Amino acid sequence: MGCSGFLKAMMVIFNGIIFLAGAAVLGVGIWVKVDSGSVLNFMGKIENAPAELRQVLNVGYLLIAIGAVLLVIGFLGCCGAIKESKCMLLLFFTIVLVVFIAEVAGAVVILVFRPLADELFSKFGVAAVQNIRKDYGKNPDVTGLWNTTMSTLHCCGFYNASDFVGSPYYADNGQLFPPQCCSGFVVKCNQVAVESDKNITGCFPKIKELIDDNAVVIVGVALGIAALEICAMAVAMILYCRIKSRED
């Protein structure tokens, strides 16, 4: 296999991975929009939630757009390398470069505005607790959404079990907490059971803990994607220059 053949093989491998990643991201985006029981739709049903946080609901469309772009990039890269099309390779390089710049800009924005995000989630927490104390145990939709979230994440309330104090469920069930607030979903999940059980935390601390625990993995994946994009751009440009010089 000559140098050109090696470069083609590298382009096919790089863009095959990008294409599969695009398909995965597209699938997740479609799932987020279709799944009415997802956390994002759950957030959207909470009254008095900050208007800014409701924009997070558009993340499904964002994932669909990103997935579609990755599919196009993978297609252009593979076809451009196989067919030795300068137009496709140049278009591929341009799109990947724009995506790379957008990713860098997005990372900078996240780092700069992280304190603002903490304040936003603090406001959302107030609305979530109000939602629990007003409708949990009375509104079937709200009750079902909270139960699904708590069962899935093994958490209790937004911050902790005290969020349920004063809720319709708490009042109608002899001041008992939802069974999800105690390990093993015990029947008598009362104040004593909650205080003695240290295994169940609030859903917000649980999500924050999951993010913090996987921060290294998230950063590693992001750096891996960036490195893959840089390598793909470099190979595409080298292959483009070889094709151009051969034609000249």
Residue by residue, pLDDT tens for the chain (248 residues) are 566 677 778 788 878 888 888 888 888 778 766 654 455 555 555 555 555 555 555 666 777 888 888 888 888 888 888 887 888 888 888 888 888 888 788 777 767 766 666 677 777 777 888 888 988 988 888 888 888 888 888 888 888 888 999 899 999 988 888 888 887 656 678 887 787 777 788 888 888 887 777 777 777 777 777 888 888 888 888 888 887 776 65
Residue 106 contacts residue 59 (beta carbons within 8 Å): no
pLDDT at residue 36, rounded to an integer: 47
Instruction: Extract the tokens encoding 137.
Output: 């145990």
Q: What's residue 13's pLDDT?
A: 83
∠ Cα 129 162 183 (to 5°): 115
Write down the domain spans for the chain.
Answer: 3-115+216-247, 134-206
Angle of CA points 13, 228, 6, to nearest 5°: 40
Start-end of H helices in 35-155:
39-44, 51-54, 59-83, 86-112, 114-135, 140-153
The pLDDT assigned to 167 comes to 92
Number of neighbouring beta carbons within 10 Å of residue 51:
8
Q: From CA 56, how far away is CA 40, in angstroms rounded?
A: 7
> Token pair 């739709």 is at which residue?
41
CA distance 222 to 227: 9
CA distances from 98 to 31, 124, 163, 221 (A): 27, 34, 45, 19
